[in-house]
Structure 1
Amino acid sequence: MSTGLQGLPGREVIVMAEQALLGALLIQPRTLTAVSEWLEPEHFYLPHHTALYSAMHHIAKAGHPAVTEDRPTAEQGLEWVQQTTARGAEEAPALTPSYAHALINACPQPLHAAAYGRMVLAGHVRRTVAEHAARLGQAVRESRGSDTGIDLVCARADELADVLEQLTRRWRPHPGSLPRTETTTPSAQNEDIDGRVLDERVFLSAVTNRPAALTEVRTYLRAEDFADPVHQQIFRALAALDHRGDPIDPVVVVWEVQQRGVFASTPATPDDVLAICERSGADPAYWAARVIRHALLSTATDTAAHTGRLAADTTLTPHQLISASCRTLANLTAIRLRTRRAQGQVAPRQSTEPRRRPPPVTSRRTASPPSVQIKPFRVR
């Protein structure tokens, strides 16, 4: 997949790996048979490399003797180079005989073609994850201020989940590539934070005056869904009161908040909490849905940004990138499930179809593609 992403990390190394692989395939065409089982033309970064590898596929399928015979002659090897270069040049004029010669010189060891191919595939993994993370972030930006934009965000999240699922089936973990715990840093939110805080305040006022709604609201709303730290503590106080079966009114809430040390740890005062819990006739369920919608968009923004940072981290192996991205996406999936409950929808039934696993790896030097046992969550 040649995405053309700006600021691609490790671009020079990716290009070197692609050049070394193509050089190896020009020198030893028979190597293509093993590598082509798991490496596709769209896995290359540079378009003219994609064109050349695709030309190799086409000519090899036609039964070129340089690929099919055990001991091809020098003339057959030269013909292979000329034909693949000429066919690739039909799609990419940059493919010239001199460039083919440069590719051959760029290959340190033709016997290492499988290793070069795994590097190319790793670059494809990184670019693919980065591209879909960017799409998710763009969907969040487009959904701001739109009641229907949330569907686009969910669609992009599902696309990312599908991509991670496909990658897990292709890439096996390296014996030394243990999963790394990545700390998710909240990203700068491109949102109307004042509007979000106001919605939270309206909800807290409504639910304080209509506490019967708390039992249902608590099944899907969490304190972490609130942007304002004081609002988080007020909701925790309301949830605790409802859990204990205690009466709820503004004064009781102030007392519970004080017991939780809010006035000692924040600038909030009892009058501030009373003002937040003032009399209201608003519908708690409606405003709870708005609060969790804000939280979903915020989580989607953080998920996109963090996944993008993971893809840009060239110290992560593909296995570590895939597993960390799955864990990050799981946070978004969890709040999507709670959002569905807030909307009165039932979570989709999980598939019981057994996964088809690749055969066990018997050698680290095999040319077979990777495969990892991590399956990302997704919500339809």
Structure 2
Amino acid sequence: MSRTLIVAGAGIVGLSTAYSLAKAGNRVIVLDKEEHVAAHQTGNNSGVIHSGLYYTPGSLKAKLSVDGASSIRDFAVEHGVKVDICGKLVVATDDKQLPQLNELLRRGKENGVPARLVSPEEAREYEPHVSTVGALHVESTGIIDYKGVCEALARLIRELGGEIRFGAEVKGVKADALGVTVETRNGSVRGHYFVNCGGLHSDRIARLAGLKPSVRIIPFRGEYYELIPEEQHLVRGLIYPVPDPQFPFLGVHLTKMIDGSVHAGPNAIFAFAREGYKWLNINPRDMLESAAWPGLWKLGAKFWKVGLAETYRSFSRKKALEGLRELVPALGDKAIVPTHNGVRAQAMNRDGTMVDDFLFERGQRQIHVLNAPSPAATASLEIGKRIATELLDMAK
């Protein structure tokens, strides 16, 4: 039996979900308020295929990332999307970081990630200019054109008879025993089931559908620099620091992009708008919603020193360069220039803890994706399959 299934969001998770549903013989309608695919998180991320090294063994992130790294690479090759499995070095720049490096190796092995410890001399065979006392080499990490993946998915969805409607911001969701009606800026859409992959606005869409999410989306801006062309030879692939286990972000890193450029960053600072790609992007509604969430104040009280340091680095190119020189000391005084920024849709609990894993909530004839942080792009095809399977089971 063919069903009409509505998906909100034309980022990589929404499109992957719609593709899986369309392949199963369903009519799919994708709604997005923008005018093209991958307009927000997907189109402004680091372009990295993550291996699954960092994630808690047994977590959904760990499983879907490892499986997703393989499936998205195969998808790219099959559909002519640029991809390069170049490998990654996670480098310890101080002896105090070596225990955490070993913990990463343990996690990686438990998750099935092909990683191995290398000496400083071996590390410099991969990255001749890196500074390290010990490193992990992760051979399955790569880079990819995620916008290209989304464009390929959109093409396949249409070939399977699906629709992608742009300029269709979700304004209301109402379910009944027979189906779901989604109100948009351009009229209503009726379907049998509904999937919310709204990213930065996913919790709002859930509330429109009558749910009371246990989390709030708090936006964090990640600001990137890129190396000037004369400095790009100093980085061959991906160079990451050993992450601080007390801080919920990975820290600044150097990433070769699929177009040959090298990006540096990102930092992580609170954004004054859910689409706050610049300091001057201020949305009063977004700010009030964030400020009204008790978890944000609790997080700020715990990490205020880190927050100040991240903010200082946002305004000081010299400070940003200092952090990068811990990884690659040869970077010159004018090595970096600002480039694009991204905004991360981070689900936060009331107690100030950030939701660490993928988070789904269900409603009548609905599934809402309320947390899909990195490695969601890497794992997107696997997330899409999982949602499609659950939704079709719901329909039985």
Larger Rg: 1
TM-score bracket for the superposition, by shorter chain length: under 0.3
- Higher-strand-fraction structure: 2
TM-score, normalised to structure 2, is 0.22
TM-score, normalised to structure 1, is 0.23
